[in-house]
Structure 1
Amino acid sequence: MTSWLTEAVPRGRVAAFRTLIYLFVAADLVVFTPWVRTRASVPGELYQPLLVGRILPLPTPTPALVAVIFWALLLLALLAATGRAPRLLGWSVCALYLEWMIIAMSYGKVDHDRFGLLVALAVLPTAGRARHGDTTRTEAGGWALRVTQIAVICTYFLAAWAKLRFGGLDWLTGSVLARAIIRRGTDFADLIAQVPYLLIVAQFGIVAFELFSPVVFLLPARWRGAMVGFFYSFHAVTIATITISFAPHLAAMTSFLPLERVRPLVWARRLAGHRGPAEEDAGPHPDDVDTVPAQPSVAVPPSAAGRTPVVDQAPVVGRPVGP
């Protein structure tokens, strides 16, 4: 079990995942959850903090507090995306984003798509330093990615458990998707809704998919990648029908992917027609092995075995040849 939890991965994968997660945090502040800043204008008596907010305890949001958290988190997330000071910046981003989410979710609605992202922010500082393109393997980084993967799958499995716990079998045979389509459906969803019993079949399929999602850990690497691709396709259909993106969950789910192969800076240099000094010193990247020409081998005749090789030397210019 320990070897599975700490399965070593390339440091380049950890570096790419770290950059992606911290850039997503910055994007989340300005694209996905800018509405959190409006919580500062809500009367304080409406603030009902989550359990963690009551245990710590955390202050009631004020305009000054929300503004400080927003700008500090935005700046630190961008700095953390560079990979510098991974522990100091990582723990700072984790603490500030947790407080940002507590403020967001303490007014009556809690989104479960943030769980994997919060776990990723909590474990990334423990992965240590990692450089893009580094092929050396790290168990600490492997543990960080594995724990994030477990959180992603728990999001699915526990969502199915909640459906059956609170909705029972009626969730499977009820009008859950029909109500979602009426509230926020697209034209594509309207076409699907016209097919008899298709929404009921889809509800059975959703619960089955979520309950069996842990199977991904039992599959060989090739099939695991295919199943993760199915996860992403499921969310693509969700966006296309009822416009729910689960963007934080999708960002955390990249922990399953071989992100070390995604090197946009290297690709940009190739498009520009040159290679950077660091890349030239390092030689060909492992992904480029197939493009390196092999050196032809020279066959030595059996009759030449054991003889001293004779080297033909060309005369040196400006130097007399002969006695």
Structure 2
Amino acid sequence: MSRWLTEAVPRGRIAAFRTLIYLFVAADLVIFTPWVRTRASVPGDLYQPLLIGRILPLPTPTPTLVAVIFWVLLLVALVAATGRAPRLLGWTVCALYLEWMIIAMSYGKVDHDRFALLVALAVLPTAGRARHGDTTRTEAGGWALRVTQIAVICTYFLAAFAKLRFGGLDWLTGSVLARAIIRRGTDLADLIAQVPYLLIVAQFGIVAFELLSPVVFLLRERWRLAMVGFFYSFHAVTIATITISFAPHLAAMASFLPLERIRPMVWARRLVGREARGSAADAPEQAHGDPEPTPLDPASVGAGAEPVPPGGQAPVVGRPAGP
């Protein structure tokens, strides 16, 4: 089990995954969860912190507190994405983003799509330094990715467990997807809803997929990547039908992918170098045309050699020039 948990991976994969996760945190602040800043204007009496917020304890959000967390977290996440000071900046991002999520989820609604992302933020600082493209393998980095992968799969498996725990078997035959389509469905979802019993079949399929998700750890790499591709396609259909993105979960699920093969900076350098070489090849050798041929110095080739007349052909050295 310990060998499986610490299976070594290339450091380049850690560097790429770290950049992806920290850039997503920055994007999350300005794209997916900017509404958290509105919590500062909500009366403090409505703030009911999660268990972790009660244990620590954490202060009631104020406009100043929320603004400071937003701007500091945004800046630190962008710097951390470069790979500098991975432990110091990593722990800082983890602590600030955890507080950001506690503020977001302490007003009556808790999203489970951020569980794996929070785990990734907690374990990435332990992976140490890593450079893009580095093929050196690291067990510490392997442990960080494996723990994130387990969190991703737990999100699926425990979601199925919650469905059956609170909804029972009626969840499978109920109108869960039908209600979701009525609330936030797209035109594609309306077409699917017209097919008899298709939504019921989809609900059985969702629960089966979530319960069987741990099988991904038993597959060989090729089939494991294929199954992860199915996970992504499942979420693509979810977005296209009921507009639920699970974006944080999708970012964390990249821990399954060989991200070290994606090297945008290397590609950019090669592209710039190729363009530079192409420009140099297209440039004229001389600004004023081709150079005139230089006459041959007889002293440089020995006696009997004749100078090359302009535009003429040099005689063969060592043979008479005439008949």
1:129 aligns to 2:124 (yes or no): no
1:221 aligns to 2:221 (yes or no): yes
Q: CA deviation at 1:273?
A: 3.2
1:47 aligns to 2:47 (yes or no): yes
Which residue in the other structure is 1:15 paired with? Answer: 15
Q: 1:20, 1:81 within 8 Å by CA — same for their partners in 2?
A: yes
Give me the whole-angstrom Cα distance separating, in 2, the residues matched to 1:270 and 1:88: 32
Give me the whole-angstrom Cα distance separating, in 2, the residues matched to 1:273 and 1:186: 46
Which residue in the other structure is 2:66 paired with? Answer: 66
1:1-323 matches, cutoff 5 A = 1-274=1-274
Amino acid at match of 1:180: A
Helix, strand or coil for the counterpart of 1:273? helix
Q: 1:269, 1:275 within 8 Å by CA — same for their partners in 2?
A: no
Question: Which deviations, in whole Å up to 9, do the C-alpha atoms of 1:95-130 show, x marking residues without a partner?
Answer: 000000000000000000000000000000000000
Which residue in the other structure is 1:305 paired with? Answer: none
For structure 2, the residue ranges without an aligned partner over 5 or more in a row are: 277-299, 302-323
Give me the whole-angstrom Cα distance separating, in 2, the residues matched to 1:275 and 1:73: 38
TM-score w.r.t. length of structure 2: 0.85
Give me the whole-angstrom Cα distance separating, in 1, the residues matched to 2:274 and 2:62: 52
Which residue in the other structure is 1:306 paired with? Answer: none
Give me the whole-angstrom Cα distance separating, in 1, the residues matched to 2:76 and 2:151: 24
Give me the whole-angstrom Cα distance separating, in 2, the residues matched to 1:187 and 1:77: 37
Give me the whole-angstrom Cα distance separating, in 1, the residues matched to 2:216 and 2:275: 38
Give me the whole-angstrom Cα distance separating, in 2, the residues matched to 1:273 and 1:130: 25
Helix, strand or coil for the counterpart of 1:212? helix
Q: CA deviation at 1:206?
A: 0.1
Q: 1:6, 1:142 within 8 Å by CA — same for their partners in 2?
A: yes
Amino acid at match of 1:78: L
Give me the whole-angstrom Cα distance separating, in 2, the residues matched to 1:84 and 1:128: 10
TM-score w.r.t. length of structure 1: 0.85
Q: CA deviation at 1:275?
A: 10
Amino acid at match of 1:240: A
- Length, aligned pairs only: 279
Give me the whole-angstrom Cα distance separating, in 2, the residues matched to 1:268 and 1:78: 20
Q: CA deviation at 1:266?
A: 1.2
Amino acid at match of 2:220: P
Q: Identity of paired residues, percent? A: 90
Give me the whole-angstrom Cα distance separating, in 2, the residues matched to 1:187 and 1:255: 33
Give me the whole-angstrom Cα distance separating, in 1, the residues matched to 2:73 and 2:275: 34
Amino acid at match of 1:66: V
Helix, strand or coil for the counterpart of 1:82? coil
Give me the whole-angstrom Cα distance separating, in 2, the residues matched to 1:203 and 1:275: 53
Give me the whole-angstrom Cα distance separating, in 1, the residues matched to 2:15 and 2:261: 11
For structure 1, the residue ranges without an aligned partner over 5 or more in a row are: 277-316, 319-323
Amino acid at match of 1:105: M
Amino acid at match of 2:232: Y
Amino acid at match of 2:192: I
Q: CA deviation at 1:274?
A: 4.2
Give me the whole-angstrom Cα distance separating, in 1, the residues matched to 2:61 and 2:269: 46
Amino acid at match of 1:22: Y
Amino acid at match of 1:43: P
Give me the whole-angstrom Cα distance separating, in 1, the residues matched to 2:237 and 2:41: 36
Helix, strand or coil for the counterpart of 1:19? helix
Give me the whole-angstrom Cα distance separating, in 1, the residues matched to 2:218 and 2:151: 16
> C-alpha root-mean-square deviation of aligned residues, in Å?
1.4
Amino acid at match of 2:36: V
Amino acid at match of 1:162: A
Q: CA deviation at 1:269?
A: 2.0
Q: CA deviation at 1:265?
A: 1.1
Question: Which deviations, in whole Å up to 9, do the C-alpha atoms of 1:15-68 show, x marking residues without a partner?
Answer: 000000000000000000000000000000000000000000000000000000
Give me the whole-angstrom Cα distance separating, in 2, the residues matched to 1:269 and 1:2: 39
Q: 1:126, 1:140 within 8 Å by CA — same for their partners in 2?
A: yes
